């Protein structure tokens, strides 16, 4: 339970009197095939305790062996964060008692992280850039997963017992720690979100993590403190854990700023402690104080020998670095000529790759955007899937677009054809043929449909004759109905005009 009644101060007011200082620890789960120190599979969602070896259980006499790929992925992350790579580093034991590790210690790195002294430029939505300094990025292993049973649903408070699955125990992690971030002011919550988003994007782009926050591939602990406007010395910080979505990172930082300000305004002191984030109430509650419990008694891991990184090895890895996501975005925005908002929407929808591939396959930038941000996004939303998971290929879009440009089908039919493609009926061209969906623009068929419509609606015909051209629209309905929606609307209009001698 909280020590306070959690009085809050209005955010803007709080920032009038205090400067926030932020710090983040982001844990990234690597997507190697095996674990950090054992050859058990590193896989999500398997049956409990099926990806476990004696090393993961910490059985007596076992020897861990470091996963070379995990080391290389860690170096890649370090390089992408503009870090120095340690020429020599080692592992240490971080000792604690909790059933999520059967060894009673986590194998981590202590005073010699593999990467250190980096930076990342974070661009906010309006283009303002903050430089975040990276203190270190170190290698460690994930813990097992506890499920609390009995008591209130899944909460540890009131639980009767816990069940432990060690599939995740030993999964390679890289923990990225920032230096204190000063000067963000009112933009602190936005910066928090943007920073975590940038880290997630970088590790995804590197291909070293699946980077799904909802699966815990990227997890954030957010440190917040406030100091009076004229102060030099940082205030006491709290560390909010369990902030596992971008939105939650933003809200948690905002909440802690409002809460700290209220505590400080009342003349009380901030207790240095961990706070737990609750998505349902968008608030934090007190965890445990940071004190003796933090005496982890780190010592060098005697079962693992140091890692030496040669310049050749590091440079070979550097040559594998893909174009940084921020650079790529700048390049694509310029190439495609989208407006700021258009481009931002595309980025937020996560379809940069898809649009790039579609343009490469032969459509214009505008057509690619129209499809991915329009009909495809709608279909994804309707089926509650990620756009990328729908299975629409660039080739399908190119083909649909060619059919439209050749006036074989109209936009409306094209959207139907896309649904048939997703249902596995074949290519757009096949579907148009098999289902006889080609636009009806032969004048005999259209002429008859127009005659019928005009005969049924003499009042409309009078209006058109009287010069009200928009009345033609009223004829369109029956004509479309007669042609099962396949009439070429432009041609229908022409036929009406011809028939009335206009």
Partner 1 sequence: MSAISREDLVHLAQLAHIEMSDAELDKMTGELDAIVGAIASVSEVASSDIPATSHPIPLTNVLREDVVGQTLSIDEVLLNAPDSDSDRFKVPAILDGE
The candidate with the shortest Cα–Cα distance to 476, out of 489, 465, 466, is 489
Size of the site for partner 1 (CB under 8 A): 64
Q: Token match 């968008």: residue?
A: 282
**Residues 146 to 205: which contact partner 1 by CB under 8 A?**
146-151, 156-157, 159-166
**Residues 209 to 228: which contact partner 1 by CB under 8 A?**
none
Integer-rounded Cα radius of gyration of the chain: 30
> Strand pairing partners for 6?
none
Contacts of 58 (CB under 8 A, 6+ apart): 101, 102, 103, 104
Start-to-end C-alpha separation, the chain: 80
Interface segment toward partner 1; rule CB under 8 A; list 93-101, 119-127, 174-182, 320-328: 93-101
Q: Which of 67, 74, 178, 284 binds partner 1 (CB under 8 A)?
A: 67
Closest to partner 1 by CB, 69 or 84: 69
Residue 241 near partner 1 by CB under 8 A: yes
CB of 255 to partner 1, least distance (A): 20
Dist. CA 266–CA 260, nearest whole Å: 10
Residue 320 near partner 1 by CB under 8 A: no
Dist. CA 198–CA 217, nearest whole Å: 14
CB of 149 to partner 1, least distance (A): 8
Interface segment toward partner 1; rule CB under 8 A; list 257-265, 291-299, 338-346, 379-387: 291-299
Closest to partner 1 by CB, 149 or 497: 149
98-103 long-range contacts (CB < 8 A, ≥24 apart) are 98/143, 99/144, 99/146, 99/162, 99/164, 100/143, 100/144, 100/145, 100/146, 100/164, 100/169, 101/58, 101/143, 101/144, 101/169, 102/56, 102/57, 102/58, 102/144, 102/166, 102/169, 103/58
CB of 335 to partner 1, least distance (A): 36
CB of 239 to partner 1, least distance (A): 10
Q: Which of 16, 39, 315, 405 binds partner 1 (CB under 8 A)?
A: 39
CB of 154 to partner 1, least distance (A): 12
Phi-psi region of 96 (alpha: psi -120 to 50; beta: other; left: phi over 0): beta
Dist. CA 270–CA 82, nearest whole Å: 34
Residue 300 near partner 1 by CB under 8 A: yes
Closest to partner 1 by CB, 166 or 336: 166
> Strand pairing partners for 85?
115
Closest to partner 1 by CB, 38 or 178: 38
Interface segment toward partner 1; rule CB under 8 A; list 142-150, 354-362, 416-424, 484-492: 142-150
Residue 307 near partner 1 by CB under 8 A: yes
Residues found near partner 1 in the complex (CB under 8 A): 32-34, 38-41, 47-54, 57, 59, 65-71, 88, 90, 95, 97-100, 146-151, 156-157, 159-166, 241, 274, 287-288, 292-293, 295, 297, 299-302, 304-308
């Amino acid at each position: 339970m909280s020590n306070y009644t959690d009085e809050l101060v209005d955010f803007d007011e709080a920032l009038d009197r205090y400067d926030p200082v932020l710090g983040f620890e982001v844990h990234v789960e690597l997507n190697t095939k095996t674990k950090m120190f054992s050859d058990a599979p590193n896989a999500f969602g398997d049956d409990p305790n099926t990806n476990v070896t004696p090393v993961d259980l910490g059985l007596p006499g076992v020897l861990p062996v470091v996963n070379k790929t995990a080391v290389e992925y860690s170096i890649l992350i370090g390089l992408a964060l503009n870090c120095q790579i340690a020429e020599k580093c080692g592992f240490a034991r971080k000792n604690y008692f909790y059933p999520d590790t059967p060894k009673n210690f986590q194998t981590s790195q202590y005073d010699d992280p593999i990467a250190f002294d980096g930076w990342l430029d974070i661009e906010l939505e309006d283009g303002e850039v903050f430089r975040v300094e990276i203190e270190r990025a170190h290698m460690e292993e994930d813990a097992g997963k506890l499920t609390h049973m009995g008591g209130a649903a899944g909460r540890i408070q009131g639980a009767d017992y816990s069940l432990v699955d060690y599939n995740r125990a030993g999964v390679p992690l890289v923990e990225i720690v920032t230096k204190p971030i000063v000067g963000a002011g009112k933009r602190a919550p936005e910066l928090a979100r943007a920073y975590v988003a940038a880290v997630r994007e970088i590790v995804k782009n590197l291909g070293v993590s699946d980077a799904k926050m909802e699966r815990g591939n990227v997890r954030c602990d957010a440190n917040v403190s406030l100091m009076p406007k004229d102060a030099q010395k940082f205030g006491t910080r709290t560390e909010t854990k369990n902030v596992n979505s971008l939105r939650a990172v933003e809200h948690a930082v905002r909440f802690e700023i409002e809460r700290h300000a209220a505590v400080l305004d009342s003349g009380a002191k901030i207790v240095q402690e961990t706070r737990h984030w609750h998505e349902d109430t968008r608030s934090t509650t007190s965890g445990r104080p940071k004190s003796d419990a933090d005496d982890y008694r780190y010592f060098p891991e005697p079962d693992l020998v140091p890692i030496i990184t040669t310049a050749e090895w590091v440079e070979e890895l550097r040559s594998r670095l893909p174009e940084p996501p921020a650079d790529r975005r700048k390049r694509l925005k310029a190439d495609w000529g989208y407006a700021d908002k258009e481009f931002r929407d595309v980025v937020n929808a996560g379809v940069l790759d898809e649009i790039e591939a579609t343009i490469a396959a032969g459509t214009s930038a505008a057509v690619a955007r129209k499809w991915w941000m329009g009909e495809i996004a709608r279909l994804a939303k309707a089926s509650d899937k990620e756009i990328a998971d729908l299975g629409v290929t660039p080739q399908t879009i190119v083909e649909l677009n060619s059919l439209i440009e050749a006036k074989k089908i109209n936009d409306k039919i094209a959207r139907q054809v896309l649904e048939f493609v997703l249902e596995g009926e074949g290519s757009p061209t096949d579907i148009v043929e098999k289902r006889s969906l080609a636009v009806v623009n032969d004048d005999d068929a259209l002429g008859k449909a127009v005659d019928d419509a005009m005969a049924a609606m003499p009042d409309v015909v009078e209006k058109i004759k009287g010069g009200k051209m928009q009345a033609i629209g009223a004829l369109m309905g029956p004509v479309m109905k007669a042609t099962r929606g396949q009439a070429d609307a432009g041609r229908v209009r022409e036929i009406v005009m011809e028939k009335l001698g206009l």
